[in-house]
Amino acid sequence: MAENWSATDVGTIRFPSGVLVRGRGLRHPLPSGPAPSFAVYLLGKEPPPTEWEARWLPWPDFRLPKDGRQARNVLAEALARAEDERVEIACGGGLGRTGTALACMAVLDGVPADEAVEYVRRNYHGRAVETPWQRRYVLRFEDA
C-alpha cells in the first residue's frame, strides 16, 4: 500500500471526504516527489506504459468521454483507491478533461453537481473545466 499524497503536493485537490487526488497535465514534466500508485489518463489515444498501474479512459481533447458508463466506473474506482493510494488524474494540459473528471469525482464524493465545477476551480485550478459541454456533463453526471 502506498502512502497518500500530501495536501502541499503540486496539483492535489482535497475532496470533502478528505481524500487527496493529484491532477496534472501530461505535457508538463512529472512533478518532483513520489510517483502515483494508480493513474487515470484521459486521452484521445492510448498513453504509453507507466511504471505504475494506470487506466486509459478514451476522452478526446475539448470533448467528453467516449463511454459515460466506463467514465463513471473508472472515476469511482479512482476515488475509492485514493483513500489509501496516490491517485493521479491527467490529460494533456491538466485543465479541461482533468478538471471535468475531478468535478465528477467531487460529485461522487458528495458535492452537489451544480457546485462541483466551482469546487474544483477553487481547490484545484481556476480555469479547470474548459467548455460549456464539459460543465453540462458535470451537471448531469449524477444522473448518468
Number of domains the chain is built from: 1
Q: CATH no. for residue 85?
A: 3.90.190.10
Question: Residue 71 domain-assigned?
Answer: yes
For the stretch 19-64, pLDDT in tens is 999 999 999 999 988 999 999 999 999 999 999 999 999 999 888 9
Q: For residue range 78-124, list pLDDT tens digits in order.
A: 999 999 999 999 999 999 999 999 999 999 999 999 999 999 999 99
Domain membership of residue 1 (yes or no) is: no
Grid cell digits, residue 13: 485537490
Is 3 inside a domain boundary? no
Do 4 and 24 touch, CB atoms closer than 8 A? Answer: no
Average pLDDT score, the chain: 94
In the chain, the amino acid numbered 86 is: R
32 located within any domain: yes
Which domain range does residue 27 map to?
12-141
User: In degrees, to the nearest 5, what angle opens at C-alpha 44 toward C-alphas 95 and 25?
Assistant: 30
Domain assignment present for 123: yes
Residue 119 lies in a domain: yes
Q: What is the pLDDT of residue 4?
A: 84
